């Protein structure tokens, strides 16, 4: 008797949820490292090597939201990649023997960062659409917070202000966490 290869289709929702969760955790780790950098005692000068590495800003997502897009499609195709682009645009990694930092440094980096902020704003507008809000303040409040965070990121990118980008990243993280406390994919537990 031969063995049959029984392949079952893999449900998409858990995979998408895992990708979104990993992205959020990664972004939170970058922010945590950035926060902890201020409190890390410097190693002796002869041991520490400080490097500013070239870490180009990623290309912004190109999804143009339409009313038929589900919230999940907006998150996966627009909001999450745009947020990751903002979060990953600057940061640092501190070890006992080295200190690596990165931030937007070229015209292209700043243009791409503006693109991420604009894409995030498009996603926030789509999420704040009255059809999706439908009178629910519990949906409207985090959608507005996302709009405010995207506006802060855009203004900071236009001014080429690294400190303001860091603040906008924090604001964005707070907006995302505030929403995800209430709304998360039904197949996953809330972060």
Q: Rounded to two decimals, what is the model's pTM?
A: 0.66
Q: What pLDDT score was predicted for residue 50?
A: 46
- Rounded CA-CA distance 184/157 in Å is 29
Model pLDDT, residue 81 = 96
Domain spans in the chain, listed from the N-terminal domain onward:
53-90+104-180
Label residue 21 by pLDDT band (50, 70, 90): very low
- How far apart CA 70 and CA 108 sit, in angstroms, is 32
What tokens were used for 123?
């996603």
The fold for domain 53-90+104-180 equals 1.20.120
Q: Over the stretch 131-180, which tens digit does the pLDDT of each residue have?
A: 777 777 778 888 899 999 999 999 999 999 999 999 999 999 999 998 88
What's the rounded Cα separation, in Å, for the pair 105 and 150? 20
Residue 149, classified by CB atoms within 10 Å of its CB into exposed (0-12), middle (13-18) or buried (19+), is buried
Looking at residue 121, its pLDDT comes to 95
Q: Rounded CA gap, 184 and 21, in Å?
A: 10
- 77 near 63, Cβ under 8 Å? yes
- Judge whether 128 and 147 are in contact, CB under 8 Å: yes
What is the phi-psi region of residue 158: left when phi exceeds 0, alpha when psi lies from -120 to 50, beta otherwise? alpha
pLDDT tens-digit map of 108-132: 999 999 999 999 999 999 988 887 7
| Confidence label for 66 from pLDDT (cuts 50, 70 and 90) | confident
Q: Percentage of the chain with pLDDT > 70?
A: 68
């Amino acid at each position: 008797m031969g063995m049959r290869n029984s392949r079952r289709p893999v449900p998409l929702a858990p995979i998408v949820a895992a990708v979104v969760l990993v992205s959020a955790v990664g972004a939170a780790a970058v922010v945590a490292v950035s926060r902890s950098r201020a409190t890390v005692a410097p190693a002796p000068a002869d041991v520490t090597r400080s490097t500013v590495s070239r870490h180009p800003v990623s290309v912004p997502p190109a999804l143009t939201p339409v009313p038929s897009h589900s919230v999940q499609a907006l998150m996966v195709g627009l909001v999450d990649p745009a947020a990751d682009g903002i979060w990953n645009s600057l940061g640092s990694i501190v070890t006992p023997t080295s200190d690596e930092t990165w931030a937007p440094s070229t015209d292209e980096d700043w243009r791409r960062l503006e693109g991420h902020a604009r894409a995030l704003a498009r996603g926030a507008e789509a999420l704040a659409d009255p059809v999706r809000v439908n009178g629910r303040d519990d949906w409207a409040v985090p959608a507005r917070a996302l709009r405010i965070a995207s506006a802060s990121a855009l203004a900071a990118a236009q001014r080429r202000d690294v400190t303001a980008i860091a603040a906008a990243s924090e604001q964005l993280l707070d907006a995302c966490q505030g929403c995800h406390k209430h709304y998360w994919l039904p197949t996953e537990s809330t972060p």
